[in-house]
Structure 1
């Protein structure tokens, strides 16, 4: 068995969540969260931010660590045991540009219930719910917005 580590983000802008649509040669088709493999010398946070930017074109900022998910899948020669570390992130715009080279055909921000039902994998649905609840808690105590953003909202 091969052990791998990836990192990704649940990105929120104005209460909506970023999801990506991937179609890999009609064998892997569905909506997913942005994530990817840790490169040598990278921290998990750097990997998560880089992968969000590469796969979606979104410049995001990490707000907090959400947790990890784990799953198995069959690689070319062996079973892969993948652990994914997830971060709650915020973005300052709805701009997205899906990475065609990695078979992402669409990307967009959706209301929670829409994003939840679009997602293909149950582990990503669980992380999305956990991240969205953290976002709601941060908003409730007025810690989601920066001081400047809070002043502009008055």
Structure 2
């Protein structure tokens, strides 16, 4: 599989993967969750009575975790890619340090899936984020209301030429 197809992954990252576990080492893990947990990138959820007490990423490091975090830092500096959009969304809410861990975890899952399942990396292009879905829903509701009340462009104060270019 071509791991260089993933944005932000360099030759150094791939070399550290090969040195640390190799292509056959991925088969030791039954799922991507086990793999990222071994890397110490998955949160350690402590739950008691249905209440989340703590969900911090456990301490501990290895060379592969460091390589994925460095690749994640380069992803954070990219523009208009799937992973960089994810990075920016999480960074807005959680800060850069938590974002690096979250994106490194996502990168680990992608790499595990590529190596074990022999799947090429296909970033979602048509994915709509929640704010975009809301905007489409509001526009759809507004069109229904306009049709329901039988309003025309003149009633709304719109020029007919503008409405044709907007739709």
Q: TM-score range by the shorter chain?
A: under 0.3
TM-score normalised according to structure 1 size: 0.22
The structure that has the greater radius of gyration is 2
TM-score normalised according to structure 2 size: 0.21
**Greater relative contact order (Cα 8 A, min sep 6): structure 1 or 2?**
1
